[in-house]
Structure 1
Amino acid sequence: MPAYSGSTSQTQPHTRKVSVPPAFAVPMVEATFPRRLHPYWPKLQEKSRTWLREMRLMPPDKVERYADSLCYTDLVAGYYIGAPDELLTAIADLSSWFFAWDDRHDRDSVHGRAEQWRRLCRGLHGTLDAPRQYLHHSDPLVAGFADCVCRLYSFLGPSWNARFARHFHPVIEAYDQEFHNRRGGTVPTVETYVELRRLTFAHWAWIDLLEPTAGRELPHGVRKHPAYRRAALATQDFSAWYNDLCSLPKELAGDELHNLGISLIHHEGLTLEEAVREVHRRVTQCVTDFIRAEEEVLLFARRLAGGNTRGKELAEALESCVFNMRNWFSSVYWFHHESGRYRVDSWDDRSMPPYVTEDTLAEKELVGEE
């Protein structure tokens, strides 16, 4: 029996008709957040398949069978409209890497591969500070991350690079916390999980990437403007909570402990149906919060323009950033209903995604550091 029954339909211009179960439907997103795709998207699919094979992040047969249906490139091509093709490709590869890392985290947790996980985290931390030193690391996840980071560091310069690293180090630490939680059977409280999820989703790293897309680094005072922060948090919380909503069946099947719905069930005593409704309520509130903050950011941008060239260029960059924050809503929303990543009811083993190769992961346990 499907985890959620019934559906509504929406036709997207670039793809097939998809079904949205009523429990997942957010009419405000469907009505007022149009789906956009970067024109480079078709080429991005091809490049992504090649990169996954070359980096050995998926076996070649699984790349051919599953890569396009997982829709990882669709997701990113809807986030970063206006990015140069080379930047979009690097971001898309980072996104694909992130999903592969998430899958490794899951399997290492399930099998208790603590030493392997420790080595991986150490390699990822090192990569952020000296990516070129890790390009040929024996672990494909470290080498793939190094490849992405080297490319991303080539766009805006040292201060942006250092900020991206500052924002990503805690992401690795949060994944490590989740690893230990799973090994110890600890379900975080709702409040603890909210903060943890903002790290495991890499909220501020994805927001950082709006700036090279816009072609310039935003000054500290602009990034810290309260309305900009609220808009950024709303779009990222929406994405994280909507992912939790749609991945709940997958994560319950895999004995995952980290999902807003699971924390609500475990600590607040909600039933599954009540937890789904509460996560949906929070998701919808994020949309409302963003719309309010977006208006303030656009007013701020108009003030920044100020009649001089520098002000106009800064205002245009800020408008690009908030425009792409808006695009996260539709891209995340439709991705979750197009991607095969969440179709747990179609898997032979509900606890083991078909696009993950357990034998390959198990072999990596024997691989040491270079």
Structure 2
Amino acid sequence: MPPALALPVVESEFPRHLHPYWPKLQEKSRAWLLEKRLMPPDKVAAYADSLCYTDLVAGYYIGAPDELLAAIADLSSWFFGWDDRHDRDAVHGRTTGWRRLCAGLHETLQDPRAHLHHEDPLVAGFADCVLRLYAHLGPRWNGRFARHFHPVIDAYDHEFGNRRTGTVPSVEAYIELRRLTFAHWIWIDLLEPTARQELPDAVRKHPAYRAAALATQDFSAWYNDLCSLPKELAGDEVHNLGISLIHHEGLSLQQAVAEVHRRVSDCVRDFLAVEPEVLSLADELIDGSAAGRKASAALQSCVFNMRNWFSSVYWFHHESGRYRVESWDDRSLPPYVSDAPGPEFPECELAGPELAGGQE
């Protein structure tokens, strides 16, 4: 483990767990990528297992029903594919196709069934995932999921504009943007169907719960930035905490790596500091009623799986072939990515959505 990436506290304080469905999940994920045409068959055969996308999710959502875990795993694989399309469309200036994709994703959140056979595999694949996720907790949770995902799409579009103009966001602007492009609140929302129970609003909006959730997600996003920095520098990316620190605060590459490492370590400490308060909140929910016991158990499940983000994200980044830029023939083009454009559509003007900010 390179010292710049090593986090002894994660290795010692956050044991690694894998959902028992994981071996089957890997097999199903390969089949889903092929069925939905999200990766060419030769790339699925050569790279799908070594990318370890299913390992990542199988370590997050312990206790999830098998069919839910499969849907989350496919959403995660879809997310990586969407991220790769975003990169290639930005590099090649495929603005019309990109904007049409964003519009299709927004529409899918409102009516996933109507988009299951969309011409664009990314829209159809997203529709499949959303429809399966919507089957677990009902309209209230589904509506919240959609409200949280619309700003994620808009944030990706905002990044697309930055890539096309070479704009490196300030550190503060980047942190807020990253909380959307990493889909912080989506992954936290998915803790609830994993626990088979929607949390009461008073719990979900409690400052301690939100602080713990934010610490896990900032850790995950910034550790990703730390590990993907060589890949993103090679590809002329402008969105990385390290790149913002270099560009706007005058840090050297070595200093930027050290600063991102420090911030990542702080996220772990922040979580450990607030975790006891969240567990105390779970104890307070036990009021002698069946509803109280269920809410307490659900919150304990959520906190347990928040913990699992640290170990799962940490080991994923050291096992996945997604970040082994030194082994690629072309450091600017990952070998698992197809550089072909998405479906061809007639050229037309599409208005870009504004970046949405607030979270519920």
TM-score, with structure 2 as normaliser? 0.95
Write out aligned runs for 1:134-213 (5 A): 134-213=115-194
Q: Who is 2:344 aligned against?
A: 366
How much is the aligned-residue C-alpha RMSD, in angstroms?
A: 0.9
User: Which residue is 1:90 aligned to?
Assistant: 71
Aligned 8 A contact 2:60 2:308 in 1: yes
Query: In the alignment, which of 240, 244, 247 is matched to residue 266 of structure 1?
Result: 247
Q: Is 1:255 the counterpart of 2:233 in the alignment?
A: no
SS in 2 for 1:305: coil
Describe the superposition over 1:229-280 as per-residue Cα deviations: whole angstroms up to 9, x where unpaired. 0000000000000000000000000000000000000000000000000000
Are positions 1:325 and 2:277 aligned together?
A: no
Q: Distance in 2 between matches of 1:187 and 1:271?
A: 16
Q: Does the 8 A contact of 2:120 with 2:343 survive in 1? A: no
String of CA shifts for 1:42-74, please: whole Å, max 9, x gaps.
000000000000000000111011000000000
Aligned ranges for residues 64-103 of structure 1 at < 5 Å?
A: 64-103=45-84
One-letter code aligned to 1:288: R
Query: For residues 199-348 of structure 1, what are the structure 2 equivalents within 5 Å?
Result: 199-348=180-329
Determine the structure 2 residue equivalent to 1:9: none
- SS of the equivalent of 1:21 reads coil
Distance 1:325-1:368 versus aligned 2 partners, 3 A rule: farther
Q: What is the CA distance between 1:308 and its match in structure 2?
A: 2.4
The Cα shift of 1:312 comes to 1.1
Q: Distance in 1 between matches of 2:146 and 2:288?
A: 35
Q: CA deviation at 1:219?
A: 1.2
The match for 1:37 among 12, 18, 23 is 18
Instruction: For residue 136 of structure 1, give the secondary structure of its aligned residue in structure 2.
Output: coil
Give the Cα separation in 2 of the matches to 1:332 and 1:302: 28
* 1: CA distance, partners of 2:278 / 2:149: 25
Specify every segment of 5 or more residues in structure 1 that has no aligned partner in the other structure, as ranges: 1-19
Alignment partner, residue 119 of structure 1: 100
Per-residue displacement from partner, 1:310-337 (whole Å, max 9, x unpaired)? 2111100000001000000000000000
Write the distance in 1 (CA, Å) between the matches of 2:12 and 2:82: 34
Aligned partner of 2:354 in structure 1 is none
State the secondary structure of the residue aligned to 2:198. Answer: coil
User: Partners in 1 of 2:346 and 2:302 — Cα distance?
Assistant: 41
> 4+ runs of 1 displaced by more than 3 Å?
none
Q: Is the 8 A contact 1:228 1:297 kept in 2?
A: yes
Residues 1:48 and 2:26 are matched in the alignment: no
Residue number in structure 2 paired with 1:16:
none
Deviation at 1:365, TM superposition (A): 5.1
What is the identity, as a one-letter code, of the residue corresponding to 2:9?
Answer: M
Change in 2 beyond 3 A, CA 1:241/1:119: same
Contact 1:246-1:336 within 8 A present in 2 as well: yes
Q: Aligned letter for 1:131? A: P
Deviations 1:126-156 (A, max 9, x none): 0001101110000000000000000000000
Describe the shift of the 1:182–1:89 C-alpha distance in structure 2 as closer, same or farther (beyond 3 A). same
String of CA shifts for 1:6-33, please: whole Å, max 9, x gaps: xxxxxxxxxxxxxx21100011000010
Structure 2: runs of 5+ lacking an equivalent: 348-360
Instruction: For 1:38, give the aligned amino acid.
Output: H
Deviations 1:94-138 (A, max 9, x none): 000000000000000000000000100000000001101110000
Q: Distance in 2 between matches of 1:45 and 1:96?
A: 11
Identity of aligned residues (%): 77
Q: Is the 8 A contact 2:203 2:209 kept in 1?
A: yes
